[in-house]
Structure formats: C-alpha cells, structure tokens
C-alpha cells in the first residue's frame, strides 16, 4: 500500500503529464516583486498545435515562479497570428493557479504570423500607458517560431515598446527563426534579453535563466543621452593583433564606457566594433 507521501508524488507526476498546473511556490527573486508583465505567444499556423500547447505550458510554469497579486506582480497574456488577441488583461485579479489554468486556454488562432502585429498589440493592448502602474518595472516577453514578414515594422514596434519604458525579452524556437532579428529587437544588454531553443520541447532548458533574469528587471532607465535627438552610426576600429591583449582590453573598456552614453534603445544610435584580427568577436550593427 502506498504511503501518503508516495501518493502525493504520483499525483504531481500525473498532473504534469496532463498539462494541469501544479501549485508552485514563488521563487526567491520574485518574492514581493512589483512588476507589470505581458507575455505574447505566436499562435500562427507555422506553430503546430501541440507546440503551441507546449509554449502555453512553459508560460504557465514561468508564472508559477511569480508573486502574483494586484500589489505585486501582474501578468497579461496575448497571442498573435495575422491579428493580435488579448487573452488575459493586465488588470485581471485572478489568483495564481487560476491565472495559470487560464493561460492554457489561450486561443490557437492559426493563419499567417505577423510579429509586427504581436508587438503592436503588446504595446497598445497588453501594456498600454493607461493601464500600467507607475514606478514599477514593465516587462514583456515575446515567443515566436519564425522571421518577421515585415522586418522594419517589427523593428519600429520594438523601438516604440522600449520608448514606453518596457523591457523586451525575445524568445525564438526552432531553426526557422531569424536569430539576428530577434537579437536586434530585444532590450539591452541583448544577450541577456534574447533566448533561443532549437525545438519547443527544449523551452524548459531556459526556464530558470529566463525567469531569473525577468525577476531582476528594474524600472526602465535609458542611461544614454547621446543620440536621443539625432541618428548616427559609429565605427570603432583597432588592430587587436598589433596592440596586444592588454592594450586591446583597455580599448574595449573605453569603447564600452563611450557606448554606455549612447541612446541605443531609442533606435537612433548604432555601434560597430572591428578588430581586424578575429571576425568572430567583432560586433556588427544591431547586436
């Protein structure tokens, strides 16, 4: 006869397999965290329905980490294909487990995938200025499985999102995504706000890293002022092989201090680093 503890373990395993949310404890980084979070998921026909369900389950697991409540972390959820649909508004007062269950009911829209419309809906409907709270971090996460149909529209909408003081995470799944595009859309530092998995079933591999980084987001501040009102492309060129490791490292530190004053998130300023010695470590525009 199974003991009580064994029965509980079996119940949890069965619930997980069925995709039913299992009550989860708030992780340390999210405890008492004040934030308004919007998560947008690609629901176009390029995403198989089973993979769409996998994404929703992953989103539900992210919410499990959070301290959900009207005075702590609020979460809204939207989906996009050839249109954007707001599934759960940021103003909802759902308890955490009810919220997690409702995420799994998000509609599978089908149709063509327009990332630009997903980004537009995120800004206009999920985290509009009229509904977000003052003096709390604004966080957005966008999941997609492919490239934009209109790259410039996507880039423009991403810039507007960041101009609204929203920190933007991008998550690409499958080898069909344009990884450079998603990197360019993400907030700075881009390597911390952009994630990639080659298959939907590997989303769980980035759970801890993504959730932890989201919990660390503070109220958005644009540190750079240079380029706020003008547009410019800046090239930094030096010969790393000729200068040697020590001098090259000092130059890189100097470049970093200069770029820190650039208004990168406005979309006005771009920077490129060319070392001439190792192309793999060079930084191109948009990275």
Alpha carbons 31 and 179: distance in angstroms, whole number: 32
Give the number of other CB atoms < 10 A from CB of residue 38. 28
Terminal Cα-to-Cα distance of the chain (whole angstroms): 59
3-class SS of residue 47: coil
Residue 77 tokens, joined: 């959820």
- Cβ atoms within 10 Å, residue 119: 29
Q: Is the separation of the CB atoms in 268 and 256 below 8 Å?
A: no
3-state secondary structure of 196: strand
Report the pLDDT averaged over residues 104-112.
97
Q: Tell me what pLDDT residue 127 has.
A: 98
pTM, full prediction: 0.73
Q: How confident is the model at residue 227 (pLDDT cuts 50, 70, 90)?
A: low
Q: Residue 16: what pLDDT?
A: 39
Please report the pLDDT score of residue 253 as a whole number. Answer: 67
Say which range, 4-8, 145-149, 211-215, has the weakest mean pLDDT: 4-8
Q: Are 44 and 113 in contact (CB under 8 A)?
A: yes
Question: What is the H or E stretch that residue 18 is in?
Answer: helix 4-18
pLDDT at 245: 73
Lookup: tokens for 187: 């907030």
Q: Tell me whether strands 84-88 and 138-144 are parallel, antiparallel or unpaired.
A: unpaired
Question: What mean pLDDT comes out for the span 231-235?
Answer: 77
Residue 121 has pLDDT above 80, yes or no: yes
pLDDT at 12 exceeding the cut of 50: no
Distance CA 81, CA 71 (A): 32
Average pLDDT, the chain: 85
Residue-level pLDDT at 242: 75
Please give the Cα distance from 140 to 127 (Å, whole number).
8
Confidence label for 247 from pLDDT (cuts 50, 70 and 90) = confident
CA nearest to 150, candidates 187, 109, 121, 115: 115
pLDDT tens by residue, 50-103: 999 999 999 999 999 999 999 999 999 999 999 999 999 999 999 999 999 999
| Fold type of domain 27-215 | Rossmann fold (3.40.50)
Nearest one of 147, 206, 140, 199 to 174, comparing CA atoms: 199
b (16+ CB within 10 A) / e for 236-255:
bebebeeeeeeebeebbeeb
Scanning 46-150, the segments in alpha helix (DSSP H) are: 49-65, 96-103, 115-121
Judged against a pLDDT cut of 80, whether residue 266 lies above it is answered with no
- Residue 17 reports pLDDT greater than 60: no
The answer, yes or no, to whether residue 19 has pLDDT greater than 60, is no
44 pLDDT exceeds 60? yes
């Amino acid at each position: 006869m199974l003991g009580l503890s064994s029965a509980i373990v079996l119940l949890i395993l069965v619930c997980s397999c069925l995709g039913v949310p299992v009550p989860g404890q708030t992780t340390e980084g999210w405890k008492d965290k004040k934030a308004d979070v919007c998560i947008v998921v690609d629901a176009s026909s390029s995403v198989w329905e089973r993979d769409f369900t996998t994404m929703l389950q992953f989103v539900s697991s992210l919410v499990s980490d959070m301290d959900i409540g009207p005075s702590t972390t609020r979460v809204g959820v939207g989906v996009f294909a050839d249109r954007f649909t707001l599934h759960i508004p940021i103003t909802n007062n759902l308890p955490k487990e009810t919220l997690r269950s409702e995420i799994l009911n998000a509609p599978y829209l089908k149709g063509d995938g327009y990332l630009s419309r997903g980004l537009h809906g995120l800004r206009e409907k999920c985290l509009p200025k009229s509904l977000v709270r003052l003096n709390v971090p604004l966080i957005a996460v966008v999941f997609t499985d492919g490239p934009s149909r209109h790259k410039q529209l996507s880039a423009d909408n991403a810039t507007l999102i960041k101009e609204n003081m929203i920190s933007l995470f991008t998550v690409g799944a499958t080898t069909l995504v344009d990884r450079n595009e998603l990197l360019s859309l993400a907030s700075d530092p881009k390597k911390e706000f952009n994630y990639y998995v080659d298959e939907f079933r590997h989303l769980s591999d980035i759970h801890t890293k993504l959730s932890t980084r989201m919990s660390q987001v503070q109220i958005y501040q644009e540190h750079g002022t240079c380029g706020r009102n003008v547009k410019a492309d800046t090239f930094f060129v030096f010969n790393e092989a000729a200068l040697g490791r020590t001098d090259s490292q000092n130059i890189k530190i100097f470049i970093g201090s200069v770029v820190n004053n650039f208004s990168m998130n406005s979309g006005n300023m771009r920077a490129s680093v060319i070392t001439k010695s190792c192309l793999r470590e060079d930084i191109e525009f948009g990275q």
